[in-house]
Amino acid sequence: MFPIRVSLLLWPEGDLSRTASGLSEGRSLMNRPAIRQYLAGAFLGNAPLLFLDLALSFFDPVFLHSLEAFLQVVVLSVMFVSGMVAGFLVARMAISRFVEVGLTTGILCFLINFLLSFSLIQLFFFGSFNGYVGLLFVGGGAFGGLLRQQQVGKLRRKKLSSR
């Protein structure tokens, strides 16, 4: 088997010092993630929504119309959670400014969602494309960055108390 190297969004949890071993594996010692990490997180944030849309396309429209309120809650929840996960994963690549990194990832999630929706539907729906989608992706990304900030704070406190 060929070794598969996945280091785009993965970083060891306990390593906060960014040692030379991490740099030798291709990770960079940067304050902010590179644009490819932002884009990977943004596309990752849109993947669950696209899979949900694909799965719902196989159901009868009459059946889906009867569950419209429930499906709206599910779709909006998927948007928030996927933005949160994307923001958290990209914020793992940063040394500081985790909320800013998560917020930027959420904004890119929204822009990619807008472009994908526009290209897949191919309608001029600027009036019907509401701000809730942007608010959910951006808010989720910022919340993911905040979660990473709290996690790093706990790891640093734990590391200081063990000395």
- Is 144 part of any domain? yes
pLDDT of amino acid 122:
54
Domain contains 6 = no
Q: Is residue 156 included in any domain, yes or no?
A: yes
Please check whether residue 2 lies inside any domain of the structure: no
Whether 93 maps to a domain, the answer reads: yes
Widest Cα–Cα separation across the chain: 63
Q: Which residues have a Cβ under 8 Å from the Cβ of 10 and sit 6 or more positions away? A: 92
Give this prediction's pTM.
0.71
- Domain assignment present for residue 20? The answer is no
Note whether residue 155 is domain-resident: yes
Domain span at residue 107 reads 32-161
Query: pLDDT tens track of the chain, all 163 residues?
Result: 444 444 444 444 444 444 333 443 444 546 778 889 999 999 999 898 888 888 888 888 888 888 888 988 888 899 899 999 999 999 888 888 889 999 999 999 988 888 887 776 655 444 455 677 778 888 899 999 899 888 888 888 888 887 7
Can you tell me the distance from the alpha carbon of 144 to that of 139, in angstroms, rounded to the nearest whole number? 9
Inside any domain, residue 48 = yes
What is the C-alpha separation between 72 and 124, in angstroms, rounded? 22
Structurally, the chain folds into a number of domains equal to: 1
User: Given CA atoms 138, 141, 143, 149 in this order, what sign does their dihedral have?
Assistant: negative
Structure tokens at 109: 């999630």
Q: Rounded to whole angstroms, how far apart are CA atoms 82 and 135? A: 13
Rounded CA separation 23/43 (Å): 25
